[in-house]
Amino acid sequence: MIISDNDAAKRDLLTKARVIAVVGHSDKPDRESYKVGMYLRNAGYTVYPVNPAVTEIDGQPSYASLADVPEAIDIVDVFRRPENLPEIVDEAAAVGAKAVWAQLDVVHEEAARKAAEAGLDVVMDYCIKIEHARLLG
């Protein structure tokens, strides 16, 4: 279901989630994906970086794909260009993720529809850090 504009559904998703895979997680502290990953860790989530170009981030392994993440994923948080979203949605559905969260300016309507049809909750064009702070902070 597409829940981008549904605060109650986003709050529920963020409350129930425990494991978040951050696709495009950077190892550079000045990048938003790094800052968001750290925020989510500090908020109590288990965060798995997914970035094939990086081997580890702050001593934690970075995984090449969602399929490599060692436990079930609740939310796939996406820091990639919109044209990459359909492939990420396919991978998220294949690993049984519960939701795909595309960061600010990451919008791909067909990918959102495909994710919803696969039974995933979908948030697009919202920052998970901002929404977490607003809804649960």
Residue 78: pLDDT band by 50, 70, 90 thresholds? very high
Q: 83-129, pLDDT tens digit by residue?
A: 999 999 999 999 999 999 999 999 999 999 999 999 999 999 999 99
- The pLDDT value recorded for residue 63 is 98
Q: Per-domain residue ranges for the chain?
A: 7-136
Task: Give the amino acid at 10.
Answer: K
Question: pTM score > 0.95 for this model?
Answer: yes
| Architecture of the 7-136 domain | 3-Layer(aba) Sandwich (3.40)
Residue spans of alpha helices (H) in the chain: 7-16, 32-42, 85-94, 109-117, 128-136
Handedness of CA 129, 40, 59, 63 (dihedral sign): negative
Q: What percent of the chain has pLDDT over 70?
A: 100
Q: What percent of the chain has pLDDT over 90?
A: 99
